[in-house]
Structure 1
Amino acid sequence: MNMQSILDSELFALIGYHIQLKISFALEIIILLYTVMKAWTLAIIRFFFNPRTKSMKDEIVLITGSGHGIGRQLAVEFSKLSATVVLWDKDEEANITTREMIKALDGKCHSYVCDVSVKEDVKKVAEIVCREVGDVTVLINNAGVVCGKNLLDIPDELIERTFRVNLLALFWTTRCFLPSMIEKNHGHIVNIGSSAGLTGMNKLTDYCASKFGVTGFTEVLNYELVFGGHDGVHTTLACPAHVNTGMFEGCKLRFPFLMPPLETQVTVRRIMLAILTNQKIVCTPRSVYFFAFMKTFLPVDVMQHILKFCGVSTFMDSFVGHQENHFQSSESKPCSNVEQLKSGKKSV
């Protein structure tokens, strides 16, 4: 075989290889379009018709910040579904109240004092729970704090506390309970974020930054599970707007009749439905989806004008916060940085 024949054969082989690559790429594009259209169709159907709910019987559900509001109501709802509920809260007295409410419903419940802002405390109490109750199959990261000050007015200690409770605690609790979920390919991680973790709010620099972190944490955790082939372990990110729990007591938008404070029971029912149907993200009210979508394509200045019109710029001006017991707002009386840290507002 002469040199020309060899060159011709190599040329034909190269052409054939490029054609094969293009055909393979075209096929993958077709498959991608099919899967995307299928996902879109299922999402549209799900928007109008709720899918079948899963059973919670014999599941072990751990809820942080279970002593008040959303955490307490979630605990009650899960107990009604025959789940074993594990209560975590720094406030022992409030946690006992939640436990007694569940016991009155003949529910199965275990309560523990745990400060989720302390990594060592989380690990220690997690080991006790696994030993005394069993492997947690549903983890609900609900505990959170809010300071409600301008960036330059927030003591360093409160900034660190916000991130320890609102964000870092999710890492510690998830790392404690996720391995057993992955091993069994069965479980659910639920993170209570906020609409402020999708669209920022004035005078909530630390809070919004931590909640944006919750959004990113949940999104990437879901990627790790899906791309890792753990299809039996689910994630849900809940992003409610202002819930009437006392955490943002005194705050209001310019037109409250358009977006009034959410009632706890209504919010919890929506979150429960999302968990029971393995919904990846749930925003309450639905207008939160709209604002989050607008933010992605509107110019920054335009979005600022819209948010100012809605009252986001003045939402925190009348902030009071919790006013009873250890929820006493640090803004209701003068106090030192240390006193502010000790009386940091605890979420529900």
Structure 2
Amino acid sequence: MYLQDLYYIAFGYPEKELNTDIALITGGGNGLGRLLAERLGKMGTKVVIWDINKKGIAETVQIVEEAGGYCKGYVVDISKKEEVYKAADVIRDEVGDITLLINNAGVVSGLHLLDTPDHLIERSFNVNVMAHFWTTKAFLPKMIENDRGHIATIASLAGHVGISKLVDYCASKFAAVGFDEALRLELEVLGHTNIRTTCICPFFIQATGMFDDVNARWVPTLNPNDVADRVIAAIRKNEKLAVIPGFLKVLLSFKWTFPWGCVGGLLKRLVPDASPHGLPSSIAVPAVPLNSSSKSTAADIAALDAELSSVTLPAKPPSMLIQRTPSLGERVL
């Protein structure tokens, strides 16, 4: 296997077809998830998307179906393992066994650590990494039984290097990278070599609602269409790790080769301000956590609206900080 990997690195990976796969994409209601759904649909893949945004789900399903593809959408809050497991049972009954799992959903707060409310830190970990455990535990057993499957983790370059104002985000993405690497090794040890994993680590992506106005030097923020194309190519080639853009692999080598003074200085210059949507360095974020049930109560929403009304936000507010969860397991179209 290892000699084969060296051969592929030197001469290129063969591409597999995905037209017989059933793919689940978390966070498929907008951004990168929607673009991945659109591409897979055009390739003949049966696509299932999960999101908490009912309107976004409906829009993605319409886009995929109008292009001739198959797509089903379900309202699922992946931060709640009970919802994940229940929705997974529904998918198996209504669509079939998932053969391609793309853990794509992610959130970011973009604040200094001491300005970040506890519930937003918990939300970062619940969505950005803990959900990967729940989705993988839900679908991996059938992949093993069928001796076929692929699990793709949409991590981040911030899963390899630390960035100011992204302490919780970086920590969650470091965990996601470790999750992928350890899972891959475990599958190999257990002899499940036909179950593949791919870790995708892009730089900041434009127009996804997360890092649209991030202040980065030297390396331009990425076009989401280019990222989607690269993700699909990495999955088709069974690549282990895809850093986007590829030349930033040098940064990872730099990190482990040079002293911290050099590395830290480079990172501070590369990303002077990682606040999404141009947020100021400190902002009064509503500290009212959402109700733990699958539906936000009217009291929750009223309390959030009251606090938000007293906060002055930039023109493009960080909508990912406040999420209102629709009904559990509700299918959209």
Question: TM range, normalised to the smaller chain?
Answer: 0.7 to 0.9
Distance 2:284 2:250 in 1: 40
Does residue 320 (structure 1) correspond to residue 270 (structure 2)? The answer is no
Once the two structures are superposed, the pairs formed by residues 81-92 of structure 1 within 5 Å of their partners are 81-92=43-54
Q: Secondary structure at the match of 1:337?
A: coil
Match of 1:265 among 201, 211, 225: 225
Show CA shifts across 1:129-165 (max 9, x none): 0111111000000001000111111101111011000
Deviation for aligned residue 1:281 = 0.7
Distance 2:29 2:138 in 1: 21
Q: Note the residue ranges of structure 2 that are not aligned, 5 or more in a row.
A: 289-303, 309-317, 324-333
Q: Is the 8 A contact 2:196 2:238 kept in 1?
A: yes
Once the two structures are superposed, the pairs formed by residues 166-245 of structure 1 within 5 Å of their partners are 166-244=128-206, 245=208
Q: Is the 8 A contact 1:320 1:331 kept in 2?
A: no
Does residue 45 (structure 1) correspond to residue 8 (structure 2)? The answer is no
Does residue 277 (structure 1) correspond to residue 241 (structure 2)? The answer is no
Deviation for aligned residue 1:250 = 1.9
Distance 1:218 1:330 in 2: 33
Q: Indicate the residue corresponding to 2:102 in structure 1.
A: 140
Deviation for aligned residue 1:315 = 2.1
Aligned residue pairs, count: 295
Deviation for aligned residue 1:308 = 2.5
Which is higher, the Rg of structure 1 or of structure 2?
A: 1
Distance 1:42 1:189 in 2: 20
Match of 1:250 among 191, 208, 213: 213
Question: Cα 1:207–1:84, aligned 2, differ >3 Å: closer, same or farther?
Answer: same
Deviation for aligned residue 1:246 = 2.8
Once the two structures are superposed, the pairs formed by residues 100-179 of structure 1 within 5 Å of their partners are 100-179=62-141
Deviation for aligned residue 1:124 = 0.8
Distance 1:299 1:221 in 2: 30
Q: Is the 8 A contact 1:198 1:292 kept in 2?
A: yes
Q: Secondary structure at the match of 2:212?
A: coil
Question: Cα 1:161–1:182, aligned 2, differ >3 Å: closer, same or farther?
Answer: same
Show CA shifts across 1:65-124 (max 9, x none): 001110000000000110100010000110100000011012111110000011111111
Q: Is the 8 A contact 1:194 1:241 kept in 2?
A: yes
Distance 2:8 2:84 in 1: 38
Deviation for aligned residue 1:36 = 6.0
Deviation for aligned residue 1:330 = 11
Q: Note the residue ranges of structure 1 that are not aligned, 5 or more in a row.
A: 1-34, 322-328
Report the TM-score when normalising by structure 2: 0.83
Distance 1:213 1:81 in 2: 31
Distance 1:126 1:331 in 2: 40
Q: Secondary structure at the match of 1:234?
A: strand
Question: Cα 1:243–1:331, aligned 2, differ >3 Å: closer, same or farther?
Answer: same
Deviation for aligned residue 1:316 = 2.2
Q: Indicate the residue corresponding to 2:258 in structure 1.
A: 298
Q: Percent identity?
A: 39
Q: Indicate the residue corresponding to 2:286 in structure 1.
A: 336
Question: Cα 1:342–1:331, aligned 2, differ >3 Å: closer, same or farther?
Answer: farther
Deviation for aligned residue 1:241 = 0.2
Question: Cα 1:36–1:164, aligned 2, differ >3 Å: closer, same or farther?
Answer: closer
Which structure: greater helix fraction?
Answer: 1
Which amino acid letter does the alignment assign opposite residue 10 of structure 2?
I
Question: Cα 1:345–1:320, aligned 2, differ >3 Å: closer, same or farther?
Answer: farther
CA RMSD of aligned residues (A): 2.2
Q: Secondary structure at the match of 1:213?
A: helix
Which amino acid letter does the alignment assign opposite residue 266 of structure 1?
D
Distance 1:334 1:202 in 2: 18
Once the two structures are superposed, the pairs formed by residues 29-108 of structure 1 within 5 Å of their partners are 39-46=5-12, 51-108=13-70
- RCO greater where, 1 or 2, for CA within 8 Å and sep 6 or more? 2
Which amino acid letter does the alignment assign opposite residue 320 of structure 1?
H
